[in-house]
Structure 1
Amino acid sequence: MQHIITAYLEGGGRGVITVAEARRLGCGPPVVRAMERSRLILRVARGVYVSAKEFNPPRDHPAAADVYALQRHRHLLRLDALLRSYGDKVAASHQSAVLAWGLPTQHASLERVHLIHVPTGRTARRFDAFTIHTCEVEDVVVTHQGRRVVTAALAVIGQAISVGVMPGVAAVDAALVKKLVTRPELSDMLQRLQRTPRLSLARTAVSLADGLAESPGETRLRLLLMKLGIMFLAQHWVCTDSGNYFRVDFYLPELGVVLEYDGTVKYGDGSSRPAWNTSGPDQDRGRSRAGRSQDAVSAGRQALVAEKAREDELRLTGFGVGRITAADLTGPRVEAVIKNARRQAQPRALRRPAAAPAWAESR
C-alpha cells in the first residue's frame, strides 16, 4: 500500500498528502503511520504530511544550492501542505506570502509558516511550527500560482511588521520593481491597517523604498548611504567622454564617485533570494549540472569582460569607481570603498549632469 502513497506524492500530490487523501486512495491510518515511522513522510500538522524525499532533496537539486534555497523550498512545501489541509479557511500571509509572491525575506525568518483566517474575526492560534493570524481587513485574499495568499501589498507590509524595517524595505522595493504593487495600493493598505500594532515599522519601510533598486543588496546599500549621510543619486545615467551612456547603481555627485553593487540576483529575475545569500534558483532543471556550470562560467567571463570595459571607460572620464559586495554591506566597509574610489576621482566628475539617452527614455 505504501507504493500507492509514494506514487501520489510524486504525482498529483506534489509532495503533500493528507490522511483524508490517503483514505481515498484506499490507504488507512496504519499505512500512513508506518510510512512516518520509516521516515518516508514527515508530519507537518495533524493529518497532513510531506514527502521526506521532497523535503530533503538530493545535492544536485536546485533547492539544495545553499542554505537559503533549501529553507525557502521547505517553507513553501510546508505552506502547501497547510493550505491543502485547511482549504479555503486560510491563506498565506506575512513571510509565507512574501515567498509565495517571489519576494525576498530573511532566511532566519523561515522556520515558521504564517497564515491568516478567512473570513476575518477568528481568534489567532499559534502552533509548534505555524501561526494562523487574525486579519482586520476584508477582500485581501487572492490566488497566485495556485496558492491562496494575501495581496502583495499586505504581504510586504506584514513582513515589515513581523521582521523589521530592512527586510520590509527590500520586499517593498522588489514588489514595486516587479509591478506587483503600486504606491497608492500601499498607502491604501496602510490606511486600512491603521489600528495594527507596530504599523510604524511598515510605514517607515514604505517611505524608504524607492522602487529603483534592482536587488536586495542595492536596497541595503542605499539605506547604508542614507544612514552615513552621503548624498547620492540611484540608478543614475552618466555620459562618458566617448559619448557612451551608462546607468550606474549610485552616483555620489559631491565626491565624483560611482558605486556599483556586485550581486548576481535581481528583483526582476524571479528569485526571492536576499542579498545576504548567494546565487538565484536554477531555472533550467532539465540539463546536466556540468552543462549548466559551463554556461555559467562562459556567461560569467563575458560579464566580467564587459564590466571591466565599462569601469575603465568611467575611470577615463574621471569617475572614481567602487564595487560593493554582500560582504561589504556594513558602514565601515562602505566608507572604506568610497574613500578609495574618491582618491581616483577627478574634479570633472564632480556634480556631473547627465540625462537618460533618448533610446532609454523611449522604452
Structure 2
Amino acid sequence: MNQHILRFLEGPGKGVITVPEAGQLGCSPTVLKKLFRDDTLTRVAIGTYVSTAQLHTPVRDGKQLHDYALAEHQHLLRLDALLRLHGPKVAASHQSAVLAWGLPTAKSSLERIHLVHTKRGRTARRRETHSLHTCELDDVITRHKGRLVVIPALAVIGQAMEVGLVAGVGCMDAAIVAQHTTRSELSEMVEKLRHSPGLGLARRALELTDGLAESPGETRLRLVLIELGFSFRAQHWIRIGESATYYRVDFYLYELGVVLEYDGQGKYGEDRKAADSGKPRPAGSVNQALTDEKAREDDLRLDGFGVGRVTSSTLTAEKVRKIVTTAQRQAQPSAVHRPAEPPPWARAG
C-alpha cells in the first residue's frame, strides 16, 4: 500500500495527497496516518498531506534549494495541498497568490497560507497554518498555471496590506514590469476596496510605485533615495558623447550628475543591462560580465558622470548618502541635467 502512495506522490500527485485520493488508490486513512508518523508525509491540514522529502529537500536543476527559494517552494507545495483539499470553493490570495503569479514577497511572510472563498456570503476563518478570507468583489478569481488565484491587482494590494510598505511597493513594481497589471488597474482596485481596513498602506504603496524597478533591490533603493530627498529619474537612457553607445542606468540624480546602479540578483524580467543594445547578450562567464560592467562605468565616468554602485549590504540611508557624496565629487558640470537619449530602436514612434 505504501508503494501506491509513494508512486502517486512522485507522479500525478506532484507531492500532494488527500484522503479521498488515497481511497481511490485503495488505501485507508490509517495508511496515511502511519506514513505521517514515519515522517514520510507531512500533514498540511486535516485530510491532506505532502511528501516530507519533497517539502524539505527539493531539488531544482540538480541543486538543493536554500533560503528564499526553499521557503517559496514550501509555501507553494502547502498551498497546492490546500487548494486540492478544498477544490473550487477557494482560491489563493494575498502572499500565496503573489507567489503563484511569480511575484516577490518577504521571506518572513511565507509561513502562513492565504486563501479566499470563491463565493460571497462565506465566513472568514483563521487556522493554525492558514487564513481563509472573504471577498465580495466580482470577477477577481481566475486560473493561473492550474491554480485558482485572485487576479494580480487584488493580490498585490492584499500583499501590501498584509506585509507592509516596502514589500508592497516591490510587488507592485514587479507586477507592472511583468505586465500582469497596470497602475490604472491598481488604482481601480484600491477604489473598489476603499472601505477595507488597512487600505491606507496599499494607497501609499501605490503612490510610491513606478513600475520601472527591475528587482526588489532597485525598488528599495528608490525608496531610500526618496527618503533622502534626492531628485532622480529611474531607467534613464544616456548616450556616451556623440558615439553609438547607449546605456540605460538604474537611477540618474540629475541635479548632481550622478548615476547610481544597483548590483544584485533576481531581475523581475530579462537582464536589462544585456538588453541595452537591443539584443540578448551572448552567454559568457562571470568574469566577462564583470568586464562589461567595468567598461560601462568607465564610459560613464569619461563622459562626466559620477558613478556609484549600491549592493544589498550598502542599502541603508546612511551608506547610500555616502555613496552619492563620493560619486558627486567625480561628476562634471556637463553631466548635470542631461536629457534622456535613448537609442533609435528604443524611441517611441
How far apart are residue 65 of structure 1 and its match? 3.5
Query: 2:49 aligns to what SS in structure 1?
Result: strand
Provide the aligned C-alpha RMSD in A. 1.8
Query: 1:74 aligns to what SS in structure 2?
Result: helix
- Paired AA for residue 296 in structure 2: R
Separation (CA, whole Å) in 1 of partners of 2:341 and 2:233: 12
Q: How does 1:9-88 map to 2 (within 5 A)?
A: 9-57=9-57, 64-88=64-88
Would the aligned equivalents of 1:17 and 1:81 in 2 still touch at CA under 8 Å? yes
How far apart are residue 354 of structure 1 and its match? 3.1
Q: How does 1:250-289 map to 2 (within 5 A)?
A: 250-269=251-270
- CA distance 1:215–1:16, shift in 2 (3 Å): same
- CA distance 1:100–1:59, shift in 2 (3 Å): closer
- CA distance 1:50–1:63, shift in 2 (3 Å): farther
Would the aligned equivalents of 2:92 and 2:149 in 1 still touch at CA under 8 Å? yes
Q: How does 1:1-363 map to 2 (within 5 A)?
A: 1-57=1-57, 64-241=64-241, 243=243, 244-269=245-270, 298-361=284-347
Separation (CA, whole Å) in 2 of partners of 1:85 and 1:60: 26
Would the aligned equivalents of 1:238 and 1:354 in 2 still touch at CA under 8 Å? yes
Unaligned runs of 5+ in 2: 272-281
State which drifts further: 214-223 or 5-14.
Answer: 214-223
- Count, aligned residues: 338
How far apart are residue 59 of structure 1 and its match? 6.7
Residues 309-345 of structure 1: CA deviation (Å, up to 9, x unaligned)? 1110111111110001111111001011111111111
- CA distance 1:142–1:63, shift in 2 (3 Å): farther
Would the aligned equivalents of 2:142 and 2:151 in 1 still touch at CA under 8 Å? yes
Task: Give the alignment's TM-score, normalised by structure 1.
Answer: 0.90
Separation (CA, whole Å) in 2 of partners of 1:60 and 1:166: 29
Separation (CA, whole Å) in 2 of partners of 1:216 and 1:49: 33
Superposition misfits of 4+ residues, deviation over 3 angstroms = 58-65
How far apart are residue 63 of structure 1 and its match? 7.5
Separation (CA, whole Å) in 1 of partners of 2:316 and 2:185: 32
**Which residue number in structure 1 is paired with residue 278 of structure 2?**
none
How far apart are residue 138 of structure 1 and its match? 1.9
How far apart are residue 357 of structure 1 and its match? 2.2
- CA distance 1:59–1:354, shift in 2 (3 Å): closer
- Paired AA for residue 260 in structure 1: E
How far apart are residue 62 of structure 1 and its match? 6.7
- CA distance 1:160–1:63, shift in 2 (3 Å): farther
Residues 220-241 of structure 1: CA deviation (Å, up to 9, x unaligned)? 1111101100011110011212
Task: Give the alignment's TM-score, normalised by structure 2.
Answer: 0.93
Query: 1:111 aligns to what SS in structure 2?
Result: coil
How far apart are residue 183 of structure 1 and its match? 2.0
Would the aligned equivalents of 1:94 and 1:159 in 2 still touch at CA under 8 Å? yes
How far apart are residue 53 of structure 1 and its match? 1.1
Query: 2:194 aligns to what SS in structure 1?
Result: coil
Would the aligned equivalents of 1:238 and 1:245 in 2 still touch at CA under 8 Å? yes
Separation (CA, whole Å) in 1 of partners of 2:241 and 2:65: 43
- CA distance 1:193–1:67, shift in 2 (3 Å): same
Would the aligned equivalents of 2:112 and 2:131 in 1 still touch at CA under 8 Å? yes
- Paired AA for residue 174 in structure 1: A
Unaligned runs of 5+ in 1: 271-294
Separation (CA, whole Å) in 2 of partners of 1:115 and 1:58: 24
Separation (CA, whole Å) in 2 of partners of 1:144 and 1:340: 47
Separation (CA, whole Å) in 2 of partners of 1:187 and 1:240: 38
Residues 41-80 of structure 1: CA deviation (Å, up to 9, x unaligned)? 1000000000011101257767843311110000000000
Would the aligned equivalents of 1:160 and 1:205 in 2 still touch at CA under 8 Å? yes
**Which residue number in structure 2 is paired with residue 284 of structure 1?**
none
